[in-house]
Amino acid sequence: MSIRIAPSILAADFANLESEMAQVSTADLLHVDVMDGHFVPNLTLGLPVVKRLAEVSPLPLDVHLMIEDPDRWAPRYAELGAASVTFHFEAARDARQCAADIKSTGARAAVAIKPGTPADAVTDLLEDVDMVLVMTVEPGFGGQSFMPETLPKLTALRAAAEQAGAAPWLQVDGGISVETAPYAVAAGADTLVAGVSIFGPADRAGAIQAIRDACRH
């Protein structure tokens, strides 16, 4: 199984984002957290910043919307250049239609679930989305500790996808590091979001490679 690494710019230096992005160009995706201060108690960035990031990023943008009313806003992020747009199941009025609207722009559509949301809440969407994001921390802030109790959801989703004949990527986000990534991959994840563990060290390429190596071993 091929493992994709998505550095989260939530842990980057916001005053030097273009330089920070260049230093993680050996990854597969660039994870961009959009928070509105309502769905989660934090506020980050929005449409104009994502548009500019898409213009200069060396990697496809993986935009994670932690916002209210994703049914309205998710397609806009896709239209501005995001390669993948993730909305939260807990926030969407019509998750299946939201995914369809994202995909109609040519972008990949993904649905995310919080730690307290069971896997079976989204099993009927596995054929409608390109990725499922299982949050391994409570959404809203970077630098939190990995929650191992979320891992059985990955195993359940992988089994349900195989039974349905679907093949969505399974992503994890929260507390991912050299130590925790192998557990996530063993449980079924194939796409790993990592913030502090990549942007914390001076050698970002080395940090990315260390996670890849840990998952292989």
Spatial separation of the C-alpha atoms in residues 192 and 194, rounded to whole Å? 6
Domain 4-216 has CATH 3.20.20.70: yes
**Catalytic position from the list 33, 101, 130, 190:** 33
Q: What's the confidence (pLDDT) of residue 23?
A: 98
Angle at 32 (CA atoms; ends 34, 61), nearest 5 degrees: 130
In tens, the pLDDT along 72-98 reads: 999 999 999 999 999 999 999 999 999
How many residues are recorded in the chain? Answer: 217
In tens, the pLDDT along 178-187 reads: 999 999 999 9
| pLDDT for 28 beyond 80 | yes
Q: What's the confidence (pLDDT) of residue 142?
A: 65
**Catalytic position from the list 101, 128, 173, 190:** 173
N- to C-terminal Cα separation, the chain: 13
Say if residues 189 and 171 touch (Cβ distance below 8 Å). Answer: yes
Q: Give the chain's mean pLDDT.
A: 96
Say if residues 173 and 193 touch (Cβ distance below 8 Å). Answer: yes
User: What per-residue string of b and e applies to 68-78 under the rule 16 or more CB within 10 Å gives b?
Assistant: bbbbebbbbbb
User: 28 catalytic, yes or no?
Assistant: no
Domain ranges within the chain, ordered by starting residue: 4-216
Say if residues 115 and 150 touch (Cβ distance below 8 Å). Answer: yes
pTM of the model: 0.95
Confidence of residue 217 (pLDDT cuts 50, 70, 90): confident
User: 33 catalytic, yes or no?
Assistant: yes
